[in-house]
């Protein structure tokens, strides 16, 4: 059994850990509110964008001349996966959930004999993937310097993806991120952005007759690159809200566990102190009796 001194030291150390986790939880809670707000505010833009593109693509009948970003390059040999994670740790299963999802997707691609390319956004994802998939990672982007998620950063990623697509470096692009549902639940998502997968169920039957100025395909050519950046931005917003939520619940758990541990250690400490006192008393009494 540990000595009284050791126990005391352990109790203090657990207590100070608890203080740290508690502080982190508070910080995450404050940040979460902001992140959640901006994630919710950002939704109308991406939804509207998506709707307009759906409306436009319905009006395109000539599949062959349609923009490549919409219908793809006609092949599906090279897959580009953009794995979006956080730059900081200590947020529970946030990063591992995304990488787990991504890894199972990678496996599927490699098993079917396709070529795989990976771009990681956020340093944690890179750290987790570099062990097993180092040779596939072509780029690692991190936005450690930017304090908040901003469209400018998302645009950089979007432009890079489009550039690679135009150079025909890949055929299909999928992004991985965590969708924020609530503080306890974040759902890892995979979303294909090139070619654009339009959900047939989304398409309403009463097709509106729009006038286009300039022509449909010209608008689409302009809109699709923007849509990529928008989708990335949306993913980044969702991710940052998820990260804070996940960190908050992880730190909450840690604080609670630390509390339990302190309780257990205190009981143990008191017991062994009492045992020592009793032992001393017995020694005194038996000493007195023997006289």
Least Å distance, CB 61 to another protein, is 17
Q: What is the CA radius of gyration of the chain?
A: 28
Instruction: Compute the least distance from the CB of residue 4 to another protein, in Å.
Output: 57
By CB under 8 A, is residue 44 in contact with another protein? yes
Least CB distance to another protein at residue 212 (A): 6
Candidates 21-29, 128-136, 169-177, 207-215; binding stretch for another protein (CB under 8 A): 207-215
Stretch that binds another protein, among 6-14, 45-53, 76-84, 131-139 (CB under 8 A): 45-53
- Token pair belonging to 171: 């055929």
| Residue 52: CB minimum distance to another protein, A | 5
Q: Which residues of 78-102 are buried (b: 16+ CB within 10 A; e: fewer)?
A: bbbbbbbbbbeeebbebbbbbbebb
Q: Residue 135 or 213: which CB sits closer to another protein?
A: 213
Picking from 215, 179, 197, 200, the residue whose alpha carbon sits closest to that of residue 60 is 215
Least spacing, CB of residue 102 vs another protein, in Å: 25
| Residue 210 interacts with another protein (CB under 8 A): yes or no | yes
Site for another protein in 227-256 (CB under 8 A): 230, 233
Window of 156-164, 186-194, 210-218, 259-267 that interacts with another protein by CB under 8 A: 210-218
206 binds another protein (CB under 8 A): no
Give the pair of three-digit tokens for residue 147. 């304090």
- The arrangement of strands across the sheet holding 115-121 comes to 137-141, 115-121, 78-84, 172-180, 186-194
* Residue 45 binds to another protein (criterion: CB under 8 A): yes
Residues numbered 48-67 forming contacts with another protein, rule: CB under 8 A: 48-49, 51-52, 55-56
- The active-site residue out of 24, 39, 66, 91 is 91
> d(Cα 94, Cα 240) in Å, to the nearest integer?
10
CB proximity list for 200: less than 8 A, separation 6 or greater: none
Asked if 214 is part of the footprint of another protein (rule: CB under 8 A), the reply reads yes
> Measuring CA to CA, which residue among 214, 249, 208 is closest to residue 241?
249
Tokens of 33: 């509110």
Q: How many residues bind another protein (CB under 8 A)?
A: 29
Beta strands at 186-194 and 137-141: parallel, antiparallel or unpaired: unpaired
Contact assessment for residue 25 and residue 252, using Cβ atoms and an 8 Å cutoff? yes
**Cβ contacts of residue 109 below 8 Å, gap of 6+?**
79, 116
**Known catalytic residue: 91?**
yes
Continuous segment of H or E residues that includes residue 41: helix 4-58
Residues in the site for another protein, rule: CB under 8 A? 38, 41-42, 44-46, 48-49, 51-52, 55-56, 150-151, 154-155, 208-214, 219, 222-223, 226, 230, 233
Which of the residues are catalytic? 91
């Amino acid at each position: 059994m540990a000595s009284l001194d050791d126990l005391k030291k352990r109790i203090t150390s657990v207590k100070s850990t608890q203080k740290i986790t508690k502080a982190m939880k508070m910080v995450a809670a404050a940040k979460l509110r902001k992140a959640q707000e901006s994630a919710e505010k950002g939704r109308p833009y991406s939804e509207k964008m998506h709707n307009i593109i759906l409306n436009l693509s319905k009006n395109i009948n000539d599949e062959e001349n349609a923009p490549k970003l919409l219908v793809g390059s006609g092949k599906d040999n090279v897959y580009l996966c953009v794995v979006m994670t956080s730059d900081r740790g200590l947020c529970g299963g946030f990063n591992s959930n995304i990488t787990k999802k991504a890894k199972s997707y990678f496996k599927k691609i490699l098993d079917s004999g396709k070529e795989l390319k990976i771009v990681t956004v956020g340093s944690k994802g890179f750290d987790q993937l570099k062990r097993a998939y180092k040779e596939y990672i072509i780029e690692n982007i991190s936005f450690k310097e930017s304090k908040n998620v901003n469209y400018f950063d998302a645009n950089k990623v979007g432009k890079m993806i489009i550039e690679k697509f135009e150079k025909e470096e890949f055929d299909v692009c999928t992004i991985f991120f965590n969708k924020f549902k609530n503080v306890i639940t974040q759902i890892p998502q995979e979303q294909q952005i090139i070619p654009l997968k339009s959900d047939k169920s989304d398409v309403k039957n009463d097709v509106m007759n729009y006038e286009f100025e300039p022509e449909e395909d010209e608008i689409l050519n302009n809109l699709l690159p923007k849509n990529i950046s928008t989708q990335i931005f949306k993913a980044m917003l969702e991710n940052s809200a998820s990260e804070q939520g996940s960190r908050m619940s992880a730190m909450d758990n840690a604080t609670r566990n630390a509390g339990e541990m302190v309780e257990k250690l205190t009981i143990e400490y008191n017991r062994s102190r009492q045992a020592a006192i009793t032992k001393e008393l017995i020694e005194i009494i038996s000493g007195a009796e023997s006289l």
